[in-house]
């Protein structure tokens, strides 16, 4: 039984890869909650991957090994996107009253970051269609890496692609989407970033 406390990020990542690919079994497997355990493993994998990306690239072969979990489950858990940087929610203005202002916000904003990339989304209710919202986004890579950047919106529930847009030269895009929850995949020149479960509406 490995001692998790003494592992560094690299070792912990390899251990989790083993768990995800089935090469090892979890310490205390719960037969009633296999998917829950898997989710926790993937969550841990994601967290550690982001940390490894700051200190140095994880082994490509390890990522491939972890991604080799059987099809639908892998897709559901996002393991097939382990090669993609996962953005974390750092700002959410829903429910925030504009304290210190003489009015109210009619939009809300969500901010995500990962590895030097900041994604700021503003969600505006559609003026004409109550079932849709307009999303304005700015993606700040810090180094003007916004040429030929494609952004894809997938339904979180079934991964269907619903919209694709290109960033303009300032890193902005506008898209109109039906209310729902979306994964946003940003294809930068040298890497991709996944913004998971963006709630629209």
Partner 1 sequence: MIQKGQSAGVSLSELMQLDEVARAALCTDIAIETLASACIEQLQGLAMQDLEHALNAVGWVIARADETDSGTLKVQARTAGAFALSLGNQFEEATVLLKEAESQAASLDDLSRGRVAQAWVQPLARLGRLTEATTSAERAIVCFELADEYILAAKAHTNLGIVQRMRENPAAAIHHFDKALPMLVDQPTAVAQLQNNRAEALLELAEFASAERAFKLAMLAFDEGSMGRAAAVAQGNLADLLGMQGKFAEALRHFEHARRRLEDGNAPGDAARLAAERAEVLSLIGLPEEAVEACLQATASLDKTGLKREAARARMATTIALVRSGRLKEAEVIAREAAAQFAAVGAEQALAKANVLLANIESRRGCHDAAISLLTDARNSLRNVPIEKARTGAMLASILLDAGRAKESLQEVELALSIAEQLDLAPLRADMLHTRARAQAKLGERDAAIVSMRKAIDEVERLRGLLQADRLRVAWLGDRVSVYSDLVSLLLERRTEGDVATAFEMLERSKSRSLLDLVDGGSRLAESVIERDTSDRDTSASELVERLLASQAELNALYSAIDRQDVAVQDNESQLRSSRMRRLEQEIARTEGQLSATRRFGPIFTRSLELSTLQRTLGDHDGLVSYFGAAGQIGVLVVRSDRVHAIPVLCTEKQAEALQKRLLFQLNRAVMSSASSTDDERTQRLIDRELHVMHQLLIAPIAGVLDGLHSLTILPHGRMYALPFHLLRGADGLLLEGCDVSVAPSASIAHHMATHHRALTQGRALVVGVADEQAPQIADEAVAVAVAIPGCQTLIGADATAEAFLTQANGASLIHLACHGHFPAGDPLEARFKLADRWVTAREIFALDLHGSTVILSCCDVGRSRVAEGDEIFGLTRAFLASGVSALVTSLWPAHDATTRTLISDFYKGLVQGQSVTKALCGAQRNCAKRNDHPAQWGHFVSVGMP
Q: Does 111 bind partner 1 (CB under 8 A)?
A: yes
- Beta-strand pair 85-86/192-200: parallel
Nearer to partner 1 among residue 44 and residue 109 (C-beta): 109
Residue 81 sits at the vertex; the CA angle it makes with 79 and 87, to the nearest 5 degrees, is: 110
Among 174, 176, 181, 197, binds partner 1 (CB under 8 A): 174
By CB under 8 A, name the one of 27, 31, 99, 143 that touches partner 1: 99
Q: Least CB distance from residue 140 to partner 1, whole Å?
A: 7
Q: Is 112 in the site for partner 1 (CB under 8 A)?
A: no
For position 145 contacting partner 1 by CB under 8 A, the verdict is no
What do you get for the CA distance between the two ends of the chain, in Å?
A: 46
Distances (CA, A) of 46 to 17, 113, 127, 172, 181: 11, 14, 38, 27, 20
Specify whether the CB–CB gap between 66 and 17 falls below 8 A. yes
Question: Which residues contribute to the site for partner 1 (CB under 8 A)?
Answer: 91, 93-109, 111, 118, 120, 122, 127, 136, 138, 140, 168, 170, 172, 174
């Amino acid at each position: 039984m490995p001692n998790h406390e003494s592992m560094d990020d690299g070792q912990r990542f390899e251990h989790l890869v083993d768990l995800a690919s089935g090469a090892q079994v979890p310490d205390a497997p719960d037969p009633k909650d296999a998917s829950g355990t898997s989710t926790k493993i993937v969550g841990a994998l994601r967290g550690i991957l982001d940390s490894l990306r700051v200190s140095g690239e994880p082994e490509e072969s390890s990522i491939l090994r972890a991604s080799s979990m059987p099809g639908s489950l892998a897709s559901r858990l996002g393991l097939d996107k382990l090669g993609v940087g996962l953005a974390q929610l750092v700002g959410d203005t829903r429910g925030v009253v504009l304290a210190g202002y003489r009015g109210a916000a009619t939009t809300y904003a969500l901010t995500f970051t990962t590895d030097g990339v900041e994604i700021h989304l503003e969600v505006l209710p559609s003026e004409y269609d109550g079932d849709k919202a307009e999303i304005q986004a700015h993606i700040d890579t810090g180094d003007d890496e916004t040429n030929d950047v494609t952004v894809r919106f997938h339904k979180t529930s079934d991964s269907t692609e619903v919209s694709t847009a290109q960033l303009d030269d300032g890193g902005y895009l506008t898209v109109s989407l039906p209310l729902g929850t979306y994964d946003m995949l940003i294809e930068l020149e040298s890497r991709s970033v996944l913004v998971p479960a963006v709630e629209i509406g």
